[in-house]
Amino acid sequence: MDYLTTEQNNPDSVAIDQMDPIEIARLMNREDQKVIVAVEKVLPAIAQAIDLVTKRVERGGRLIYIGAGTSGRLGVLDASECPPTFNTPPSLVVGLIAGGHRALTTAIEGAEDNSQAGAEDLRGVELNPTDVVCGIASSGRTPYVLGALAYARTIQAATIGVTCNQASELTAVCDVLVAPIVGPEILSGSTRLKAGTATKMVLNMISTGTMVRIGKTYGNWMVDLRATNVKLKDRSIRIVSGITGLGRNEAELLLGTCDGEVKTAIVSHTLGISKHAAQERLLESAGRLRNALDKN
């Protein structure tokens, strides 16, 4: 562990226990600014990851995040936000964490040290060769994650590694390695800080970039969202109104006749066709709104 960047001592925070609140806040803010720079340096690798996941998903594969502790929680978080944001089935983006569901809120001692458990958890979700496994480990050496990625490679599933250490054991088991180097934390080894922020940014890019590439958006509108609450219902109305030019009341009525489906409502209105015809057109266009609207 001694050689890991994330385990080094940060000289700027050696007196943090003597700082007042504003000094602590300023220090953390200065350190967090390094995250943006670190992530920018690995954008080519992030782009490779987006391309890899997109191709696998288009072939019927899944994106499976796997990690321990904070890394695992961030993967589960990203996976859980895809269904309401992009109307994806829960099975498309999956989050696995060492120790299982209880580990989301409680530290499960030793769970991350079991390399066999990572492979077992992937077997539990019936990993197949069309899937992509994204192993998340700030240290780059978590046995649970390494075991999972090694198993994934044995069945020809694609592998991505996300870490905040340059020289790591993840390299040997990844098709694409994303390694933003954020430097030592203000609390030595506390990777829930800068490393966690960098990881969240990387996962945001991978999942969002993939969803854009597979047609889940129209411009910057989230046209495939699922209106599961009042806020999202209101957003659906605003999206339909913004794209079609209809007033709010008209957009709401149109959504009502189209089963609340944003893309169906837009195609139906724009092309002057029925709900069923719009749904058929979207089906023929693989769900891509732009293609459905442009199709002759």
Torsion from C-alpha of 211, 213, 216, 220, nearest 10 degrees: 100
- Burial letters for 100-123: b for 16+ Cβ neighbours within 10 Å, e otherwise? eeebeeeebeebbebbebbbebbe
Dihedral sign, Cα of residue 41, residue 45, residue 47, residue 50? negative
Please say whether the beta carbons of 292 and 285 come within 8 A. Answer: yes
Residue 140, beta-bridge partner list: none
- Burial letters for 41-76: b for 16+ Cβ neighbours within 10 Å, e otherwise? ebeebbebbbebbbbbbeeebbbbbbbbbbbbbbbb
Q: Which of helix, strand or coil describes residue 273?
A: coil
Placement of tokens 């990993």 in the chain: 127
- Rg over alpha carbons for the chain, rounded to the nearest Å, is 22
Active site residues: 81, 112
**Contact partners, residue 262, CB within 8 Å, separation at least 6:** 223, 224, 225, 236, 239, 240, 255
C-alpha separations of 235 from 83, 115, 130, 227, 239 in Å: 15, 43, 34, 8, 6
Please say whether the beta carbons of 225 and 208 come within 8 A. Answer: no
